Structure 1
């Protein structure tokens, strides 16, 4: 969860500075309120704690899953800007995009509690 919070906070600060951003934020959002909302959302007790569209929530879960698959000494836990992190994170995101069974199981297990959208069917598995 710490990794996801770092990703969101970096995006939030970029948005506040007028740069491009990935996630949606409430107009009155502060760093403290956003951190609290992320924590509440990941607790599984309030799927609506984050006011983001379903694709954004899926992206947050994607980061969470990738972080859960990384080794404890991953470069990503030191700095997401580290080139080694980009390579490692990209590898896990590619596995998620290919519907890695570990991701599918984790996603489906958390979907209800986190208010995640249904997974789209993998065209590779279509008959």
Structure 2
């Protein structure tokens, strides 16, 4: 490790002191690799630009809307169609479900203003 590299143990200690440890109490890591993949795309793409201020503004807007509507992970998990660990689904199964639903919602959306989005009925 060079002098410019961050010490992983010191980073974890800092995260723990801020209450954002990447090691969960149940032994599962909260590091899904998504941030590393996003950083790779950001650093290696010519046609991709991520605006830090826009990203922070979007996150703040989403958080505010969730607070105003009382939406939470608990509310999400109460929906009858969403898989639950109590039903025998693993965390990976649930994450795969969320990813698939998000992908379907994005893929089936008609982005032209003159057309309505395609509803998916279950």
Shared topology, TM-score over 0.5? Answer: no
Tell me the TM-score normalised to structure 2 length: 0.30
Structure label with greater radius of gyration: 2
Which structure: greater helix fraction?
A: 1
Tell me the TM-score normalised to structure 1 length: 0.29
RCO (CA 8 Å, sep 6+): is it higher in 1 or 2? 1
